[in-house]
């Protein structure tokens, strides 16, 4: 790493922290700017999906990462802040930050790595699914705290007898800016189902899907079928919260139907951050056809992780390390 003074990392989630650690190990001085009050991003709130065995969800790959970043003397973290301007050219940049204490400037930057992550769609913003009431209805991300905090009696106060997973929620839909497969939904929903089944063996599952993807290079869907899971290929039209919650859909074989469940899980996908256009302007990046960021060839400025496309936890970490190596090699 020659004449490398300082690298700016924009976003302190998994990709940002993994890249910062890698570059600091190589001798760089790294400054992380994170808009939230703490580093870690979304994955910090995710729960392990192991049942009787590891299900390769990737959460364990983050073990010790946040503490390591905060303790590393070569990494400075600036939280509750955002980069509003990046001035300079050819690996000599100055950044202007908006911080709680006012404007702050980081000078002498050799390169920048944008790792601003993604956003979830949320249950209130579906274009194709009508949702009335929230009782008994949760998105995949809303279910993560229960996965993370579960004890020996499982993630829920009462054992559910039936759970529906609605796949592709907010994905494969032009109206939702997501005419693509997010790739992660099938994996995390089936892993969640395996955790629930582990703690509540009498629970039955139904998956409403458009297309199923392989998860962790394994046919988990065949396994779920062997455990009694039911798969219905359709896109439901309405979810009504309550005890029980209900799902209305057109069954390919039986026509219009309505079924009740103790819980309905909306398996939401990965969406590009809504302020990606601003990041593109500040850092000289491009937006792809789906709204994700990509580098435009500006020397010393790269993009990593889910800011550039949907990725799993393991893929995000790997991509961040590759980007860190690319920056240090370029400089």
Do 73 and 209 fall within a single domain?
A: no
Structure tokens at 146: 């229960």
- Average pLDDT on 293-309 reads 93
- Average pLDDT on 283-293 reads 94
Do 39 and 112 fall within a single domain?
A: yes
Structure tokens at 123: 């249950």
Q: Which of 82-86, 156-160, 223-227, 265-269 has the lowest mean pLDDT?
A: 223-227
Do 28 and 128 fall within a single domain?
A: no
**Measured distance CA(249)–CA(247) in Å, rounded:** 7
pLDDT digits (tens, 9 = 90+) for 105-140: 999 999 999 999 998 876 545 667 889 998 999 999
**What is the residue range of 115's domain?**
7-119+271-330
Do 264 and 279 fall within a single domain?
A: no
How many separate domains does the chain show? Answer: 2
- Domain membership flag for residue 68: yes
Do 228 and 191 fall within a single domain?
A: yes
- For 45-87, the DSSP string reads GPPP--SSS----SGGGGTTHHHHHHH-TTEEEE-S-EEEEEE
Residue 189's nearest CA partner among 156, 221, 218, 227 is 221
Query: pTM of the entire structure?
Result: 0.91
The long-range contacts involving 214-218, CB below 8 angstroms and separated by at least 24 positions, are 214/186, 215/186, 215/187, 215/190, 215/191, 216/55, 216/56, 216/187
- Domain membership flag for residue 42: yes
The CATH number that applies at residue 312 is: 3.50.50.60
Which pLDDT belongs to residue 145? 94
Please list the alpha-helical segments (H only) found in the chain.
14-25, 65-71, 140-148, 185-199, 220-226, 276-283, 313-330
**Measured distance CA(247)–CA(264) in Å, rounded:** 8
pLDDT digits (tens, 9 = 90+) for 24-83: 999 999 999 999 999 999 999 999 999 989 988 999 999 999 999 999 999 999 999 999
**Measured distance CA(137)–CA(134) in Å, rounded:** 5
Do 139 and 217 fall within a single domain?
A: yes
Task: Give burial (CB, 10 Å; 0-12/13-18/19+) of 321.
Answer: middle
Do 51 and 170 fall within a single domain?
A: no
């Amino acid at each position: 790493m020659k004449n490398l003074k300082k690298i700016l990392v924009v976003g302190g989630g998994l990709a940002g922290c993994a890249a910062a650690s890698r570059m600091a190990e190589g001798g760089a001085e790294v400054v992380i700017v994170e808009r939230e009050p703490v580093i870690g991003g979304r994955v910090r709130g995710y729960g392990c999906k192991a049942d009787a065995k590891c299900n390769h969800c990737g959460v364990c790959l983050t073990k010790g990462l946040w503490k390591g970043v905060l303790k590393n003397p070569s990494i400075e973290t600036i939280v509750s802040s955002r980069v509003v301007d990046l001035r300079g050219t050819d690996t000599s940049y100055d950044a202007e930050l908006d911080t709680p204490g006012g404007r702050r400037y980081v000078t002498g930057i050799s390169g920048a790595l944008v790792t601003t992550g993604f956003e979830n769609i949320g249950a209130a913003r579906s274009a194709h699914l009508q949702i009335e009431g929230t009782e008994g209805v949760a998105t995949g991300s809303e279910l993560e705290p229960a996965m993370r905090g579960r004890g020996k009696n499982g993630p829920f106060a009462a054992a559910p007898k039936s759970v529906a997973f609605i796949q592709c929620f907010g994905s494969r839909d032009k109206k939702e800016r997501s005419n693509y497969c997010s790739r992660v939904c099938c994996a995390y929903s089936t892993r969640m189902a395996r955790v629930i089944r582990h703690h509540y063996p009498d629970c039955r599952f139904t998956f409403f899907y458009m297309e199923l993807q392989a998860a962790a290079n394994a046919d988990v869907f065949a396994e779920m079928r062997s455990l009694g899971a039911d798969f219905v290929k359709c896109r439901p039209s309405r979810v009504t919260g309550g005890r029980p919650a209900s799902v209305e859909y057109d069954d390919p074989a039986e026509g219009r139907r309505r079924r009740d469940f103790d819980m309905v899980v909306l398996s939401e996908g990965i969406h590009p951050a809504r302020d990606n256009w601003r990041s593109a302007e500040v850092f000289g990046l491009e937006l792809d056809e789906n709204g994700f960021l990509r580098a435009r060839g500006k020397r010393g400025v790269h993009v990593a992780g889910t800011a550039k496309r949907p990725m799993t936890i393991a893929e995000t970490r790997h991509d961040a390390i590759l980007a860190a190596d690319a920056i240090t090699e370029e400089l």
